[in-house]
Structure 1
C-alpha cells in the first residue's frame, strides 16, 4: 500500500494480535471458493455470499479496532480514531493490511488529501445576565482573540444576514446576533467579521438548539456560536425595544490543516466500465473510539470484501474507506471532486454504509427517489426494501439529506443510497413495536461519545445489515440488468436546494 509504512504496519498488527491473544482472520474461516470447471470460481450469487458473513469475524475486528483507538490515549486522554490521531493512522494500516492478506484479488490505492480539522476545548456565552444552556460553539470556529473573553453589546442583524447591507454600520466592537436561514453559517460569520464584529451568534428560526459548522475556514470568520430560538426570543424582544444587551463571548479552539488518506480497492476482475461502489468512513469524532460510528461500516466493508474473494464477478466492485467524514465529508468530497468525467461515468451507483449496529436500532433506508436524485437511486432503495421484506423484517425511511458520504456522489450525478440504524434521533413508540428497543431513547445512546466501544454495537442488527450489504454487492456485481444507464454527471438541482446538512453538522 502506498504511503502506509510497511514496518509500522506489521508491528501494529502484531501488537493488536498479541493484545487480543487470538489470531486475526486470513482467508474466510477456511471456506473454499465456489468452483466450476477446472477449479475456476463461480459467479457470485447473493445467497452464497450472505451465508459466508460471520458475526464472529466482525466482532473480532471490532475488538482490534478498539485496541487501535487506545493508541491515541497519550495525546487525547482517551481512545479515539479522529483524523490526525495515532488511532486513525493505525486504523488505515489495519484496513490496508487486511486487504493485502487477500492476495491479488484486488488492486489497491491510497489518496492523500489536505483536511481541515478543528476542536473546541471550552466555550461560554453570556447574554445580558443569563448564560443560555443551548449556546454551543460552531465547528471550525476560530477562538476569541488570545483565547480570552471578549465583551461587547449585542447587535441585531437585519433579515438573515446573507448580504453586506444587512449588517449595521455601527457593528465594530459588537457581537452580531443573526437569524438562521438561506445562506451558510460560514457566510454569516464572514460578513459579520468584515463588518467589524468581534463575535457572532446565529440563533435558530424555531425553538430548537443549533449545532452547525462554519465550513471552509476564512480569515474573516469570527468566533461563532449557535443558539436555540427559545433562548434567543427574549433577547430579540429587548433588542427590538431599543434596550442594550451587554454580552461576553469566549471560545478556546484550534483549526488546523493536516494530511489524511482515503483507501480505495477494486476487484481485478469485472467490467471496469461498470463499477459497483460502496463506502464507509474510517475516522471517528475526537470524543470517542467510534466503534459503531463508523467502525461498524468500516468492518462491514472489510468482511464483505474478504468473503467476495471466494467468487468471480461480472462487474467490478470498488470499496472505499473515507477519511475526514466527521469533519464534513472531506474524503468523499475530495474523491469525487478529483474524478475525471469519464471515470465518474464508470460508477453505476454508490452505496453508503454508516452505523450498521446501533444498540437501540431501527432498520433505516435512505428515502432516495429518482425525482430528486440521479436516476437509479430509487431502484437501489427498492432493492433494500425487497430484501427486508423477503426476510420478514420491518424497515423505515430516513431523509436523504446530506449527512453522510453519499452526498458528493449524488451532487455529481451518481445514483446513490444506503442503509443505517440510527444516530442521535429518538426512537418512536411505533418503532419500538417494529424493532424492539426503547421508545424515547436515542437509537445510539453513545453517539459521538466515549462509550461508543465494542459493547455499543448490537450484533443482531450488525449481522443482518452486513448480509444486506453482501446482497447489494452480489446483485450488482453479477448483473446490472434492469438498472438504469448512467446519463449525466450533474444531479437534480432540487437536491441542492433541500439539503441542510453536510455531514453531521447543519451548514445553513
Structure 2
C-alpha cells in the first residue's frame, strides 16, 4: 500500500501530461508471447469474491487517509483518500507489465463542501431542508434574515423575479436547472433561495457550474412547502433565517486510462467506473465496487490475447457532476470518437439490498448498438436463471457524456437510494420498503456495505461483456455518427447523482 501511495505522489509531482494520443507504455519493449484468445467462461471463472473483498479492504484503508481533513474516511476529489485511490489503481495496473498502455488525463474540476447549514421559516425548522450541492455560503458564512418572497411561474426568466434585495426567494422546481434559478435570484438581489419540490417528496440537487450570482440555496419538500405557499398567496408575511457554511473551489484531478497494447485500435471496447466518493463517506459500494471490479477484470484479462482493443477507465469527479467522463468524451477527436465501438458503465455493483438492474437503452432513442449491449446483459442473466429489471437512462452516471457524444452505451447497477418494492423483494430477496443501498452517500458505505454474492456475480458479467466484444463485434452496429438524438437532452433530469432540474 505504501508503495502505491508513493507512486502517485511521484507521478503527481511530475504532472505527466498524458493523453490517448501520447501514451506512456510501461514494461519491457517488444511483442509479448502470444496468449490464448480470451474465452468468456475462463475469464468469468477467474473472478472470486475473496479477491474483490481483499481489494475493498485495501480501499477502505485508503479512504482513512482523508480523516485528517474531513474527520472521517472519504475519497472525495481533492482529498488524500482520492489521491491514494488513484495511486492504488495506477500502481496495480503498472504491476501488470506491458499488457496495457497507461495514461492519466488531468482536467479542471469543481468541488463543494457544505460544513453546516440551517433554515428557519417563520417559527418552523423544516425537516426536509437540504443544502444544494455546489451552493455558495450565506454572506460572510453568517446567518442572514429576510422576508420569504414567492417567485412567479417556475422562476426560469428574469421577469419572474421582483426586486428581492434583502429577501429570500421561494421558487418552484421545474423546467430549468436549479443553478439558473439561484443565479436569477442572486441577480434580483436575494440573500438566499429556497427551491421547493413540485412533486411529492424531498428535494436535493446541484447548482452545477458555479456562477458569481449564485446565492446560498436550499431544497425543500413539496409537503413542507405547501403551507408556506398558501400563506404567501394570502398576503401573509413569513420571516426566514438562513445559514450556510460552504466552500466551492476549483482543483485539478485525473482520469486513469488503461488500453490493451494488442487488439485492433480502431475497434475499442470501452468500460469505466468512477474513482471518487462523496465527501460524506468512503464510498466502498459507490463506486468502490465498480472501480475494483474493473481492476480485477483488467488483471485477469492479462492471461489472454484480444482481437479488439479493450480500454478501461477510472473517472474522477463523478460525484461532482460526471466531470471526468464528460471531459474525456467531449475531448475525443471525431476520429478517436469513432474508434470507441461502445461504452459500458459499471457503478454500484454490490448494493446490500440489491436488484439486478440493466439500463434500458434502445436503438430508437440512443446511439445504435446500445440495445445490443442491453440484450447482452439480458441474455446473460437469463442464461443463469436470474431475475433482472430495467432502469432508465436518466443522466445519473458516467454513460451520459458518451451518449451525448453519439457513442452507444449501457451498463448494469444494483440500486442506490430507490426503495425496493414488494415485487422486487420477490424477485431478488432483501427488504421491501428499504433503499437498495441504505448507506448510499453516507459514512456507513464501508466494507460491511457490500453484498458479495451480487458483487461477484456482476463482476463475472463484466468479464463476460469484455470477453465478448474483445473477441468480436460481429452483428454489432458499425459506428457512423458522433451525434445522438435530441430527445435524450430533453428528458434528462440528472447530471450525475444529483437532480439538476
TM-score (norm 2): 0.94
Q: Which position in structure 2 is the counterpart of 1:490? A: 483
Identify if the C-alpha distance between structure 1 residues 165 and 348 changes in structure 2 by more than 3 Å, giving closer, same or farther: same
**Match in the other structure for 2:50:** 56
The offset of 1:456, in angstroms, is: 1.1
- Residue of 167, 177, 189 corresponding to 2:182: 189
SS where residue 345 of structure 1 aligns?
Answer: helix
1:220-259 map, 5 Å: 220-259=213-252
* CA apart distance, 1:207: 2.6
Quote the Cα distance in structure 2 between the aligned partners of 1:252 and 1:322.
28
Per-residue CA deviations over 1:440-463 (Å, capped at 9, x if unaligned) read 111111111111111111110001
* SS of residue paired to 2:280: coil
1:412-451 alignment, distance < 5 Å: 412-451=405-444
Alpha-carbon distance between aligned partners in 2 of 1:323 and 1:387, rounded to the nearest angstrom: 30
State the alpha-carbon separation in 2 of the partners of residues 455 and 134 from structure 1: 28
Instruction: Find the partner of 1:131 among 125, 129, 132.
Output: 125
Q: Which residue of 2 aligns with 1:118?
A: 112
- CA distance in 1 between partners of 2:64 and 2:149 (Å): 46
2:309 is paired with a residue whose SS is strand
Instruction: Please name the residue that 2:138 is paired with.
Output: 144
Task: Please give the residue correspondences for 1:40-439 in structure 2 after superposition, counting only pairs within 5 Å.
Answer: 40-168=34-162, 170-439=163-432
8 Å contact from structure 1 (residues 91, 282) kept in 2? yes
Deviation at 1:78, TM superposition (A): 1.1
Task: Count how many residue pairs are aligned between Structure 1 and Structure 2.
Answer: 479
1:290 CA displacement: 0.8
Q: Which residue pairs with 2:26 in the alignment?
A: none
Q: CA deviation at 1:377?
A: 0.6
More off after superposition, 294-303 vs 333-342: 333-342
Relative to structure 2, which stretch is displaced further, 231-240 or 344-353? Answer: 231-240
Tell me the TM-score normalised to structure 1 length: 0.92
SS in 1 for 2:365: coil
Partner of residue 34, structure 1: none
Could you tell me whether the CA contact under 8 Å between 2:4 and 2:88 is conserved in 1?
no
| Moved >2 Å (runs of 4+) | 4-7, 9-12
Residues 137-194 of structure 1 show CA distances to partners (whole Å, capped at 9, x for unaligned) of 10001000011111111111111111111111x3211111111111100001111111
User: Which deviates further from its counterpart, 465-474 or 285-294?
Assistant: 285-294
Kindly state the Cα deviation for residue 9 of structure 1 after the two structures are TM-superposed: 2.4
CA distance in 2: counterparts of 1:468 and 1:306, whole angstroms: 15
* Equivalent position of 1:28 in the other structure: none
Tell me by how many angstroms 1:40 deviates: 2.6
* C-alpha distance in structure 2 between counterparts of 1:7 and 1:355, whole Å: 24
Kindly indicate whether the alpha-carbon contact (under 8 Å) linking 1:9 and 1:90 is maintained by their aligned counterparts in 2. Answer: no
- Computed over aligned residues only, the root mean square deviation of the Cα atoms, in angstroms, reads 1.6
CA contact (8 A) 1:127 1:247 kept: yes
